[in-house]
Amino acid sequence: MAASNPLKGTDLVDCAKANAKQGPETAAKLCGYGDDISTFTAELKKACEGMGIEIDQVSDLMTEQQARIKGDTEVVAPETPTNL
């Protein structure tokens, strides 16, 4: 659910981090910035600086686990339902 008002500070960083794997456009919308990605990015950088975190883009907030999940994945499954 998207925030009704633009988030600031730690709330913004938490929301952006949770949605980083979906890309900056989606993260901006969910953090209450709509289509204003430049303001979202500027506010996010400012909030991160206040926390002592240096980022260049939203994806810098992704955890290692999120990054692995976003990468190429291989599905391991039987070829047919009867071949379990």
pLDDT at 68: 66
The per-residue pLDDT for 28 is 96
Question: Using an 8 Å Cβ cutoff, are 52 and 15 in contact?
Answer: no
In the predicted model, what is the mean pLDDT of residues 63-79?
A: 64
Q: How far apart are CA 41 and CA 31, in angstroms?
A: 11
pLDDT exceeds cutoff 60 at 70? no
The residue among 73, 40, 33 whose CA lies nearest residue 55 is 40
Helices (H), the chain: 9-19, 24-30, 37-50, 64-70
pTM of the model: 0.74
pLDDT digits (tens, 9 = 90+) for 1-37: 788 899 999 999 999 999 998 999 999 999 999 999 9
Going by C-beta distance under 8 Å and a sequence separation of 6 or more, which residues neighbour residue 38? Answer: none
Q: What percent of the chain has pLDDT over 90?
A: 62
